[in-house]
Amino acid sequence: MSQRPIPAPSPLSLRYWRQRWLRSRLLKAEFDFLLASEPAQEWVSIDCETSSLDPRNAEIISIAAVRISGRRIVLSNALSLLIKPSGVLDPKSIPIHGLRAQDVAQGLAMEDALSQLLHFIGSRPIIGYYLEFDLAVINRQLKPWLGMALPNRAIDVSGLYYDRMVSAYNPEVDLRLERILHTLDLPALARHDPLNDALMAAMIFLKLSKNPNMT
């Protein structure tokens, strides 16, 4: 595995112009670090619990992130935040995440939480399970405030898993988390604790990306 830092994009590349365009949109200059080059061998696995299951109006009520460095999951320095939602919790979502209105009332304001999250992520690629939903919810909150969505590369472990498993003989891949964990022989932790979910995504990522024996 290469340890070289990834070089800054050259002015001839599309990436250079994308970074420039994004930088021009950035409303808060202190978050310029998001647009730096990716550090080698570092990733961040994230997971959110939300107030509803519809990304158009769901609000984040808790968010967790854990860094991966090489083959190590840096659990000792994980981020785990509780956020005060602006609206009311959808009663249907409460049994899933187990957080009631009085629990989240202690949480951080959305902007504080997002700021901590962005500092934690930096310019690292983001890992997650069904990341699209989490990113959609985060970006909906982020855009009006930061001027842009998260610019980081996103790696969905269910996509990695699909690519690894799919074949002409096996066109239907079961992408349920339990199934993935079982197939990869990874421990299943309690679900719907965002840190556990982020941790499981991180383990899946390591197993799929760091194992020379898997075909």
Partner 1 sequence: MPGAFDFSHPPFDALTPVERSELIRQIDIEYHAAGSTIIEAGSPMLALYVVMKGLVTGGVDHDVPIAEHELFDGKALLEGRCAHAFSAREDTLLWCIPREAILQLSQRNTTFAAYFYQDVARRMAELSPSPHQLSQATLMLTRVRDACASPVFYLPADASVLDAAQMLQARHVSSVLIQTAQGCGIFTQSDLCQLVSQGLVPATTRAADHASFRLHTVEPDATLHQAMILMMRNGIHRVLIAQNGEISGVLEQLDLLACLANNPHSLGVQIERASSIDELKQVSARFTPLIQLLQHSGMKVTLIAELIGELRQKLLAKLFALLAPAGMLEQVCLLALGSEGRGEQILRTDQDNALIIADGYEHPELTSVCAQFNATLLALGYPPCPGQIMISNPAWRLSVSGFKQQIDAWTYSPDSEQLMQLAIWIDGTAVTGNTTLLYELQSHLKRWLDGNTSFMAHFARAIEQFPSPLGLFSRLLTHADDHLLDLKKGGIFPITHGLRSLALEAGIEPRNSYLRLAALSGGTVISHSLAQDLAETLSFLQGLQLKYGLQAQAAGRQAVNLIDPTQLTALERELLKDALGVVKQFRTLLRHHFKLDQL
Residues that bind partner 1 in the complex, under the rule CB under 8 A:
71-76, 185-187, 189-190, 193, 195-196, 199, 202-203, 206-207, 210-214
Cβ distance to partner 1 smaller for residue 42 or 193 = 193
Backbone angles phi, psi at 127, to 5 degrees: -110, 145
Closest approach, Cβ 116 to partner 1, in A, equals: 18
What six digits make up the tokens of 49? 């619990």
Cβ distance to partner 1 smaller for residue 70 or 151 = 70
Cβ distance to partner 1 smaller for residue 24 or 77 = 77
Q: Give whole-number Cα distances, 93 to 50, 65, 124, 201, 209, in Å.
A: 8, 21, 30, 22, 33
Closest approach, Cβ 210 to partner 1, in A, equals: 6
How many other CB atoms sit within 10 Å of the CB of residue 173?
16
Closest approach, Cβ 202 to partner 1, in A, equals: 8
Backbone angles phi, psi at 158, to 5 degrees: -70, -35
Q: Give whole-number Cα distances, 162 to 167, 171, 198, 213, in Å.
A: 9, 9, 19, 17
Closest approach, Cβ 206 to partner 1, in A, equals: 4
Cβ distance to partner 1 smaller for residue 124 or 148 = 124
